[in-house]
Structure formats: structure tokens, C-alpha cells
Amino acid sequence: MNTLIKLFISFLQVGLFSVGGGYAAIPLIQNQIVNVWHLMSMEEFADLITIAEMTPGPISINSATFVGMRLMGIPGALLCTFGCILMPFVICLTLAYFYYKYRNFSGVQTVLGCLRPAVVSLISCAGLSILTLAIFRDGAVNFSLSNLKWVEIGLFAVCLFLLRKFKLGAIKIILGSGVVGTLIYLLIPGLA
């Protein structure tokens, strides 16, 4: 079978079955690309995951583009990404239609009211895991002095202060922290 068709079918399945966001997609992609179709070796796949995690954007979109590009160039990248979002797009559009049709019913309001606190917790869990990665050298919660990254702790505190006090925009904060942090590490080499 043509590699382009194999890639499309693979990522169609990745899109359809990866319920629960980013990390849920990784084993699915591995199964399709490495085990079923033998399009990549396990080493290449490990590299793929590293890159997909450290670059911006959803992990499954990143992986789809990377795999497609490495194997079949631009047509591959486009087809993989398209395959990956086709089913989620259709399903979400349907759900959005029903949500806006029925959301003012009191029963639906009660159910949604119970979901909202859970979403707040889930967002805070995601925030805490990023914070852990950002400020601890070994990426685990461990408050020994040598394990703390002081530059990042300082950046975090300053950013949070700017956000709470001056309501600065999210993009400015993130790009600003990247520029300032990189400059600090470059100018004071001993820190790293």
C-alpha cells in the first residue's frame, strides 16, 4: 500500500482514539507507526516524542507533522495532520451544536455546574506539573538546595507578580520569560 495512504489511515485512528489529550496519543502513534506499518524505528520514535514535547503546540499535531515530513515531505505532513484532526473536528462540531442548543436547560446547567470545578482542578494539575519541571533540576518535587533552579524560581515569581498586579498578557509573559531567562544563562555561564 502507498505510504501516504498508510500514514493517513494511521493518523485518522490516532485522532479518533486518543481520548484525554496529548500524552494519550503517544502509545497510539507508536503502535501505528512503529509496530503496525514499520514506518519508523523505535529510536527515531523516541526522538520524535522528545521534539514533540519540547516544541509548542499539541503533541499529536506535532508528531503527525514530524512523521509525515520525515517520511514523505510536505504532502506527508499535510495529510498526517489532516488525518489527525478530521474525526475530532466532526465530533466536536456536533457536540458544540448540541451544547449551544441545550445549555440553558436547568438540568444541563446542573450537570455542567458539577463539571466546572473538575476542570479547574485538572488545569491546576497541569500547571503544577509544568511548574515542577520548571523549578526542580531533576524534574521531581524535592526541596534540596542543589535541586532548585533559582533563575526559574525568580522568573516564575516575577511573572506571577506582573500577571496579578498589572494584568499583562499571556504571550508577552511567556516570550519575555524566554528572552530574559536565556540572557541570564548566556551572560552568567556558571549558572547552568
Partner 1 sequence: MKNKNRKPLNGTMLWQLFATMFSLSSCTFGGGFVIVSLMKKKVVEERQWLEEDEMLDITAIAQSSPGPIPVNASVILGYRLQGIVGSLVAVGGTILPPMILLSLIAVFYDWFRQNDVVNTALTVMRAGVAAVICDVVINLAKNVLGTKKPLYIALMVITFILGYFLDVSAMYIILGCLATGILCVVFDQWKKRRNNG
The interface with partner 1 within residues 12-41 (CB under 8 A) comprises 15-23, 25
Q: Which of 5, 42, 46, 174 touches partner 1 by CB under 8 A?
A: 174
106-136 burial code (b ≥16 CB/10 A, e <16)? eeeeeeeeeeeeeeeeeeeeeeeeeeeeebb
Task: Please give the grid coordinates belonging to residue 3.
Answer: 505510504
- The nearest distance, CB 84 to partner 1, in angstroms, is 8
Alpha-carbon distance 91 to 88, whole Å?
5
> Is residue 164 classed exposed, middle or buried when 0-12, 13-18 and 19+ CB atoms within 10 A define those classes?
exposed
Query: Cα(first)–Cα(last) distance of the chain, in Å?
Result: 49
User: Would you count residue 118 as binding partner 1 (CB under 8 A)?
Assistant: yes
Residues in 134-163 that interact with partner 1 by CB under 8 A = 134-135, 151-153, 155-156, 159-160, 163
Q: Which of 41, 42, 46, 53 touches partner 1 by CB under 8 A?
A: 53
Neighbouring C-beta atoms of residue 156, cutoff 10 Å: 15
Comparing CB distances to partner 1, the nearer of 38 and 167 is 167
- String marking each residue 54-73 x if it binds partner 1 according to CB under 8 A: xxxxxxxxx--xx--xx---
Comparing CB distances to partner 1, the nearer of 22 and 37 is 22
The closest of 86, 17, 75, 14 to 48, measured between CA atoms, is 14
Comparing CB distances to partner 1, the nearer of 110 and 144 is 110
Q: Which stretch binds partner 1 (CB under 8 A): 1-9, 32-40, 117-125?
A: 117-125
User: Would you count residue 75 as binding partner 1 (CB under 8 A)?
Assistant: no
Counting every residue written for the chain, the total comes to 192
Q: Which of 5, 42, 46, 119 touches partner 1 by CB under 8 A?
A: 119
